[in-house]
Structure 1
Amino acid sequence: MALVQKYGIVKLQIIGMPPMVCTTNPDDIEVFLKSTLENPIRIGFACLKSVRLRAKDNYFNKNTGLLSENGDEWWRLRSRVQVPLLRPKNVAMYLPAVDGATNKFLDRIDLLQAETGQVPSDFMQEIYKWALECIGLVALNRELGCLEPNISPDALPAQLIRHINGIFSGFNGTEMNFPFWKYFRTPSYTKLETSHAAALELTAGAIREAQARLEEAKALGDPNRQLTVVRIVADLYISIMETLLNTEGLSRSDVATMIIDMLFAGVDTTLAMSFNGVTSRMEEYFPQPLEFLPQRWQRDRPYGAIHPFASLPFSHGTRICIGKRLAEQEMYTIIIRMLQKYTVTFESDEEMKVKTQLVLKPATQLAFKFHPRN
């Protein structure tokens, strides 16, 4: 990382991985992304591809999903899921469900800090529960119960949280280290495989229920009426899963991969080549890059013009994160609702630090205190 930041373009050779040319130059990033909009070749998530190719009864039929596929197969999936997942009008349909889960989460915050006046040290786990509850409502059209107090270890929410944590743990052990799993089953690979199988069992059951509902709806409706994604979304609230099941060209296994990926990540990936996170913290592109200066994003750009490819947290074009709209809607909703209800303070002298694993996560305790406004 330091070499890339110092020299701009670096060829990296990491044992067990193909060579990579890494750049922090936004002009290079623009060329790279625009030339691979419909045929990206990415090196990540090979372990996920392996797990799905080995799935019981060949459930995925060798189609391993948007996260792990490349080239033409990636575009086949991507071109079919963009409308239901990225069109703003479609995503806005799920706002009431996300808002309901968010208000429930705020009620839980009141309970969590009732004794000490501050949220507990494991508050990050509570945020994960809220995010998972939102995805359950949006993707599966069901309350998972993640925000209920005193969840039994055998209850569905607790099981699902364990499986999601197992998938993340498995990924961190396989994707972030030398790929020993390619030569023998490592503990991390086994954990990923076991947790993924459990998540698939839950997802496959939900898909069967959704298919039954859709078949019943078709039987009661006009058989001559064309059932398209746009018409479905315009007519009534249904889950993303049901929308995808009605999308021409997507199989049941395609839908299963999307739902599982949404449950544990909800994101597409961009090849590590661009190092955009480094670019966005470089002085030559952003004055005082490590300072919190939100006004730099004002339309009049008081700190100078910003290169359109210098900060791309969700990537670009057809390679943009497939969960971008949903993620933004969740973030905006929880920030707005929190600030409407509370004044939020950070009760620690320690600077907030970030840990890089499969995803970025706080390495500092979230010592927040929520002061009711009324």
Structure 2
Amino acid sequence: MLQDGDGNIVMLKSIFGKPPLIITQNPDDFETVYRHDGIWPYRKGFELLNYHRNVHRVDYFGVESGLVTSQDKAWGNMCSAVNPIIIQPKNVKLYLGALDSINQQFLKRIKLIRDPETLEMPANFKDEISAWTLESLGRVALDRQLGLIDNTNAEGLKPSLWRQFKTPKLRDVLSVLDEGLEITDKFVQEAMERIEKSTEEKLEKLLAINRKYAVVMALDMMFGGVDTTTSTFAAMVLALAQHPDKQEKLRTEILGILPEKDTPLTVESMKNLPYLLFYPLTSANVRSTRQELVLSSYTVPPGSEIAMVHLNLWRDEQHFSQPDQFIPERWLRQKQHDSSGSNGRPMATKSSHPFAYLPFGFGSRSCIGRRIAEMELEVGVSRLLRNFQVEFHHPADKPFIAYQLSMPSIPLQFKFIDLKD
């Protein structure tokens, strides 16, 4: 193992046939890696899913197994086909009404399951959040609701013998993935049949490049979007519960676009929420190098895997002033601050390095579902704060545990107090 004196970069030599792993916390290294991505960035990751699609079910997926697991020209072909559809704001905005409708159901669910005396959520509220995110993604990817399902599985992120042997756990997970593929294929077929009879320009219609692309994109969206959105939503709500002054400030903005609890959300009204900001809780972005690179003065050989760990940078005063403070204002555009930093708006709290905060990644292989996630979270938090005062009265010293994604590690027993108007 190689390590620099400051602990900013560590190299773990090859084990179990895997390439060398470079772990870096230096944003200069992040920039070097991203700037040498080439036209087809290579991101391995999600090994279990890769095994399912490119080995176990290669008969179905073939070469173009999805944006999550494809590489090189196969990835480039699929990216060129679906990027203009998924990334375009005008296409994503078509789903605002559907997402808002699901949120209304989520609010009713909260009122149903909370303790009638304490108004607190049950200890398994994370599962309810996961069900909400999955239903939301089902509407976008398949134009239908899927029911209350918790599809969380951290197996692919933990060390395991599945890479050498077909363990019982591997067989179980592959069976679940097979079932997910079968169900998604069926739903896409139904969606394709609706397309023939519909004139609406919805995402399902635009994704009808071919049936396999539609299936694979639906799987990718649900695989990549449930846990990430669940954790981000939980973190946002917890931070707002712990900082009632910030919660009230955001609620003031929300009241401006939702004067009544049942006021419909519109694309225009959602533009008037500059204070509604969030941060995905990914621990790192990963790339595999195609060429020799110099990172933190070390020469890194081609074929190495680079884990660019940014989570600790957000707590480092070298990169963020007041890192331990919850300051949503730090993300507002500079023109929204006055020159003196008065009115309680701290100045100069953003990152000092442009690559220290890239939660959605960078370049052509950045998160394709960013706009969908943003809309889902904006609608969810807006509706929640318009209906409830949110509190949290339990220990929360270490509320998340970091795998590749930070996941809630405490019961999310929020207290939701109904607002009078």
Change over 3 Å in CA distance of 1:210–1:367 after alignment to 2: closer
Q: Is residue 26 of structure 2 the alignment partner of residue 20 of structure 1? A: no
1:354 to 371, 383, 400: 400
Does the C-alpha gap of structure 1 residues 5 and 304 become closer, same or farther in structure 2, counting only changes over 3 Å?
A: farther
Deviation at 1:55, TM superposition (A): 4.6
Per-residue CA shift, 1:286-315, capped at 9, x if unaligned? 123232122222333713552221111111
Question: Secondary structure in 1 aligned to 2:11?
Answer: strand
Deviation at 1:206, TM superposition (A): 1.4
Displacement of 1:173: 3.0
CA distance in 1, matches of 2:32, 2:349: 23
Q: How far apart, in 2, do the equivalents of 1:352 and 1:201 lie?
A: 39
Residue 214 of structure 1: how far off its partner (Å): 3.1
Query: Residue in 1 aligned with 2:114?
Result: 113
Work out the CA distance in 1 between the residues paired with 2:4 and 2:406: 19
- Whether contact under 8 Å (2:85, 2:206) holds in the other structure is yes
Where structure 1 has 5 or more consecutive residues not aligned to the other structure, the ranges are 147-160, 218-234
1:142-164 residue CA offsets vs partner (Å, 9 max, x unmatched)? 12233xxxxxxxxxxxxxx36x3
Corresponding residue for 1:294? 328
Quote the Cα distance in structure 2 between the aligned partners of 1:64 and 1:281. 37
1:203 is matched with 184
Matches within 5 A, 1:47-62: 47-55=48-56, 58-62=59-63
What's the counterpart of residue 308 of structure 1? 354
Q: CA deviation at 1:70?
A: 1.9
- Indicate which of 119, 122, 126 corresponds to 2:124: 122
Runs of 5+ unmatched residues, structure 2: 229-281, 288-305, 335-345
C-alpha distance 73-345 of structure 1, shift in aligned 2 (>3 A) = same
Which sits farther off after the overlay, 316-325 or 90-99?
316-325
TM-score normalized with structure 2 length: 0.72
* 2:359 aligned counterpart, secondary structure: coil
Question: Residues 290 and 54 of structure 1: is their aligned pair in 2 closer, same or farther, counting only changes over 3 Å?
Answer: same
2:222 paired residue among 247, 253, 263:
263
One-letter code aligned to 2:140: V
Q: How many residues align?
A: 329
Amino acid of the structure 2 residue aligned with 1:363: S
Q: Which is further off, 48-57 or 96-105? A: 48-57
Whole-Å separation in 2 of the counterparts to 1:142 and 1:4: 51
Distance 2:408 2:4 in 1: 23
Structure number with higher helix proportion: 1
- How many Å separate the matches in 2 of 1:53 and 1:305? 41
Distance 2:391 2:5 in 1: 33
Letter in 2 for 1:257: V
Give me the whole-angstrom Cα distance separating, in 1, the residues matched to 2:58 and 2:42: 28
Q: Which amino acid aligns with 2:375?
A: Q
What RMSD, in angstroms, separates the aligned Cα atoms of the two structures? 2.5
35-44 or 203-212: which moved more? 35-44
* Aligned counterpart for 1:212 among listed residues 166, 175, 193: 193
Answer with 100-109 or 51-60: which moved more.
51-60
- Does the CA-based 8 Å contact 2:189-2:211 persist in structure 1? no
Note the alpha carbon deviations across 1:169-206, whole angstroms, 9 max, x for none.
xxx3344204x223220233212210011011111111
> Deviations for 1:221-257, whole angstroms, at most 9, x for unmatched residues?
xxxxxxxxxxxxxx6243x343212x3xxx4333222
1:46-195 correspondence to structure 2 within 5 Å: 46-55=47-56, 58-116=59-117, 117-146=119-148, 161=149, 164-165=151-152, 168=153, 172-178=154-160, 180-195=161-176
User: Residue 207 of structure 2 aligns to a residue in which SS?
Assistant: helix
Instruction: Give the distance between the partners of 1:352 and 1:337, measured in 2 at CA.
Output: 27
Per-residue deviation, 1:27 = 2.5
Q: What SS does structure 1 have at the residue aligned with 2:315?
A: coil
Q: Compared with structure 1, are the counterparts of its residues 318 and 332 closer, same or farther at alpha carbon in structure 2 (3 Å cutoff)?
A: same
- Give 1:244's match in structure 2, choosing from 191, 194, 207: 207
Q: Is the 8 A contact 2:387 2:418 kept in 1?
A: yes
Determine if contact 2:44/2:286 at 8 Å carries over to the other structure. no
Aligned CA distance change for structure 1 residues 115 and 173 (closer, same or farther; 3 Å): same
